[in-house]
Amino acid sequence: MTRSGLSHPRDPAPWPAPSTHGSPVSGTVAVPGSKSLTNRYLVLAALAAGPSVVRKPLHSRDSSLMIAALEDLGAVITPLPDPGPFGPDLRVQPLPLRHPLDGAARVDCGLAGTVMRFVPPVAALCSGTAEFDGDAAARVRPMGPVVHGLRQLGVHVVDEGRGTLPLSVVGTGSVTGGTVTIDASGSSQFVSALLLSAVRFESPLTLRHEGTGGGVPSLPHVDMTLEVLRAAGVDARRVSEREWRVSPCAVPGLDVTVEPDLSNAGPFLAAAAVTGGTVGIPDWPARTTQGGDQWRHILPRFGADVSLHNGTFTVAGPRELRGVDLDLSEAGELAPTVAALCALATGPSRLRGIAHLRGHETDRLAALRSELNALGGDVRETADGLVISPAPLRGGVFHSYHDHRMATAGAILGLRVPGISVENIATTAKTLPEFPRLWAELVNARD
Ligand SMILES: O=C(O)C1=C[C@@H](OP(=O)(O)O)[C@@H](O)[C@H](O)C1
Ligand SMILES: C=C(OP(=O)(O)O)C(=O)O
């Protein structure tokens, strides 16, 4: 599979965010596949006992990095003919069992949380050394609980003692299983990482969360992991909000279709919300574990009307956005989009339960505070979130910090605030390379 898209995309000049000059944004936007589902299916397919097909996968920097990482470990991933509008389906030839690595494998994690957390346990199932590193910004994202969990399973991990990349996994080809306790208050991905690879451990894995920093954030993402495993025939259970159990089994090859990315639908839905327009997203799943499904409950809190008919989720924006008080602990990845909506609301807002966003692509709480305040906003950081009060915004450069969701937050603001440009809009390629085109098509289609 091609490795194009692996280099860190950068734009030379800030992108002038299109403004609607007061007109409503209305239209329909089909969004590409879910990052979280694509990268889970790819990992599980690499661990399966036979070849798999992943249909309608996301093609983006994060999925390219996952493909390259699994290929570095010995999987073979090839595009199928007749690509759809967002790229080809993929065939995955799994890792050979107890696969001996050919020299040291070098895995580039880029800035992808799913790659840096999900792939080291896969490497532990190979025989040899796999080195993991990523972008400069990736070297400050927390990795300690993955390392700690692997070490409890007897896996030899060499790191620099800071609980971050770079690190190396020295696999022996097998991992025992047993009971492991980690502190997953910093990211649900620590839990998902160990549960996914547990399908190939020697005995069942019981994974417990114990931490002083509170519960596990983004729990729907852990449910997603369990559901992906169960759909493949694995005995994968949630014992409690803090304990999960996966029994190993020979997973047959998968034939799965990826749902659209509901988190990436957010900025398009927000375009309707902030301009009083109407935007529909087709192929919205009737039932899903994606945290982005929470748009159905979040957008009405701002005063928007929402409906889900015949698989299309539609939002109609209000004349004025109300302020909100929201606990986003279950869907923290929606926070930058929600914060942009709050900054354009007529009343004060409070976002809670998202302290762990300090370990996302960037420290998102600091980045949102700093960028919104630089445009005249009134944003204060709290221990676990943001307080955003109404204030007139002005134009300026909105910096994206290599964070796709910061970049799209800037685009949302630009619809209402003339003169906003977004630095490095190309960083949206992390999960949605088509963003600038889809955004321009939607905004220009408003009349
Ligand atoms: O497992 C996943 O696919 C993800 C889990 C969440 O991570 P956190 O628990 O670190 O928020 C989410 O924010 C991220 O975008 C994707
Ligand atoms: C937190 C995110 O990504 P990652 O998978 O890199 O953690 C995100 O997409 O909002």
- Do 423 and 300 fall within a single domain? yes
CA–centroid distance, residue 165 to ligand 1 (Å): 18
- Do 353 and 277 fall within a single domain? yes
CA–centroid distance, residue 403 to ligand 1 (Å): 14
Of the residues 257, 290, 324, the one at which a domain ends:
257
Give the pair of three-digit tokens for residue 187.
């990211």
- Do 250 and 267 fall within a single domain? no
Active site residue 333: yes
**Taking the CA of residue 100 as centre, how many other CA atoms within 13 Å lie in the half-sphere pointing to its CB?**
2
Of the residues 236, 257, 278, the one at which a domain ends:
257
> Radius of gyration (Cα) for the chain, nearest Å?
21
**For residue 104, what pLDDT is reported?**
84
Ligand nearest to the Cα of 187, by number: 1
Judge whether 2 lies within some domain. no
**For residue 212, what pLDDT is reported?**
82
- Do 250 and 274 fall within a single domain? no
Atom of ligand 2 at shortest range from CA of 112: 6
Residue whose CB lies within 8 A of the most ligand 2 atoms, among 114, 224, 360, for a mutation test: 360
Q: Taking the CA atoms of 113, 126, 154 and 168 in sequence, report the sign of the dihedral they define.
A: negative
- Do 408 and 425 fall within a single domain? yes
**ipTM, 2 dp:** 0.99
Percentages of the chain per state (helix, strand, coil), in multiples of 5: 35, 25, 40
Which residue range forms the structural domain that includes residue 300?
15-31+260-444
The two counts, helices (H) then strands (E), for the chain are: 12, 23
Cβ atoms of residues 72 and 107 within 8 Å:
yes
Ligand nearest to the Cα of 331, by number: 1
Q: Is the peptide bond before 166 cis (omega within 30 degrees of 0)?
A: yes
- 113 belongs to an annotated ligand binding site: yes
**For residue 7, what pLDDT is reported?**
45
- Do 221 and 311 fall within a single domain? no
CA–centroid distance, residue 131 to ligand 1 (Å): 23
| Strand ranges inside 190-269, DSSP E | 205-209, 236-240, 243-246, 255-257
Q: Is residue 66 classed as helix, strand or coil in its secondary structure?
A: helix
Of the residues 207, 233, 257, the one at which a domain ends:
257
Per-position DSSP letters for 345-392, written without gaps between them: SSS-EEEES-GGGGGSSS-HHHHHHHHHHHTT-EEEEETTEEEEE---
Judge whether 5 lies within some domain. no
Cβ atoms of residues 269 and 316 within 8 Å:
no
Atom of ligand 1 at shortest range from CA of 39: 3
Please report where in the chains the tokens 């050979």 appear, as a residue.
Answer: 96
- Do 266 and 232 fall within a single domain? no
- Do 175 and 278 fall within a single domain? no
Residue whose CB lies within 8 A of the most ligand 1 atoms, among 188, 194, 328, for a mutation test: 188
Ligand nearest to the Cα of 403, by number: 2
| CATH number assigned to the domain comprising residue 101 | 3.65.10.10
- Do 153 and 26 fall within a single domain? no
Cβ atoms of residues 237 and 269 within 8 Å:
no
CA–centroid distance, residue 188 to ligand 1 (Å): 6
Atom of ligand 2 at shortest range from CA of 36: 5
Q: What is the DSSP letter of 137?
A: G
Can you list the alpha helix ranges (DSSP code H) found in 9-112? 35-47, 61-72
Most distant CA pair in the chain, distance: 62
Judge whether 412 lies within some domain. yes
* Position 246, amino acid: V
**Taking the CA of residue 170 as centre, how many other CA atoms within 13 Å lie in the half-sphere pointing to its CB?**
6
Cβ atoms of residues 123 and 43 within 8 Å:
no
- Do 217 and 340 fall within a single domain? no
Question: Which residue in the list 71, 333, 361, 434 is annotated as catalytic?
Answer: 333
- 93 belongs to an annotated ligand binding site: no
Judge whether 82 lies within some domain. yes
User: What total number of domains does the chain contain?
Assistant: 2
Tens of each residue's pLDDT in the chain, 447 residues: 434 334 444 557 999 999 998 899 999 999 999 999 999 999 999 999 999 999 999 999 999 999 999 999 999 999 999 999 999 999 999 998 777 887 889 999 999 999 999 999 999 999 999 999 999 999 999 999 999 999 999 999 999 999 999 999 999 999 999 999 999 999 999 999 999 999 999 999 999 999 987 899 999 999 999 999 999 999 999 999 999 999 999 999 999 999 999 999 999 999 999 999 999 999 999 999 999 999 999 999 999 999 999 999 999 999 999 999 999 999 999 999 999 999 999 999 999 999 999 999 999 999 999 999 999 999 999 999 999 999 999 999 999 999 999 999 999 999 999 999 999 999 999 999 999 999 999 999 844
Judge whether 264 lies within some domain. yes
Nearest residue to 72 (alpha-carbon basis) of 125, 123, 7? 123
Residue with CA at minimum distance from ligand 1 atom 8:
187
Which residues form the pocket of ligand 2, taking CB atoms under 6 Å from any ligand atom?
112-114, 333, 360-361, 405, 431
Atom of ligand 1 at shortest range from CA of 217: 9
Partnered with residue 265 across adjacent β-strands are none
Give the pair of three-digit tokens for residue 220.
């729907």
CA–CA distance, 351 with 379 (Å, rounded to integer): 11
CA–CA distance, 47 with 26 (Å, rounded to integer): 43
- Do 273 and 236 fall within a single domain? no
| Strand ranges inside 383-441, DSSP E | 385-389, 396-398, 420-422
- Do 284 and 227 fall within a single domain? no
Judge whether 353 lies within some domain. yes
Residues 267/273/275/280 CA torsion (nearest 10 deg):
70
The secondary structure element, H or E, covering residue 271 is helix 262-275
Cβ atoms of residues 44 and 228 within 8 Å:
yes
* Position 208, amino acid: R
Partnered with residue 350 across adjacent β-strands are 325, 387
Judge whether 176 lies within some domain. yes
Judge whether 326 lies within some domain. yes
**For residue 217, what pLDDT is reported?**
97
- 364 belongs to an annotated ligand binding site: yes
